């Protein structure tokens, strides 16, 4: 066997090693993407759960129920309580963040 044949065999082995490492890298990137999506979904679920905690208060739940039927029967204090105590801004931010994440994942 001459040096040219040994060099050709070395190049073939090197090329195979590159292909194997690229396949391994593709698998790792796919797994990382799955984990990132799962982590984002977990964050969304936790935020949603936390945004519902204030509504466990019977008074706030009553205000929410009456607001759902007709907002004109609420006093100004109850409207403020619904907005502040009900975390309306937080729920809106949660919705916008969720939509952004799904749009980002779809791209």
How many domains are there within the chain?
Answer: 1
CB 47 within 8 A of CB 94: yes
Q: What is the pLDDT of residues 14-69, one digit of tens each?
A: 999 999 999 999 999 999 999 988 888 888 788 778 777 776 777 777 877 777 77
Cα distances from 69 to residues 30, 47, 78, 86, in angstroms, run 48, 26, 14, 17
At 13 the pLDDT is 92
Which residues form the domain of 35?
3-106
Nearest to 79 by CA among 87, 71, 68: 71
**Distance between first and last Cα of the chain:** 53
Q: Tell me the pTM.
A: 0.53
Rounded to 10 degrees, the C-alpha dihedral 10/16/21/24 comes to -160
From 39-48, 68-77, 98-107, the region with the lowest mean pLDDT? 98-107
Length of the chain: 107
């Amino acid at each position: 066997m001459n040096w040219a044949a040994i060099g050709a065999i070395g190049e073939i082995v090197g090329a195979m090693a590159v292909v194997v490492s690229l396949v391994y890298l593709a698998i790792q990137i796919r797994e990382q993407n799955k984990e990132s999506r799962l982590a984002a979904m977990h964050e969304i679920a936790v935020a949603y759960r936390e945004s519902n905690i204030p509504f466990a208060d019977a008074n706030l739940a009553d205000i929410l129920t009456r607001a759902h039927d007709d907002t004109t029967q609420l006093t100004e204090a109850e409207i403020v309580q619904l907005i502040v105590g009900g975390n309306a801004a937080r729920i809106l931010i949660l919705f916008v963040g969720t939509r952004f994440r799904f749009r980002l994942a779809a791209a």
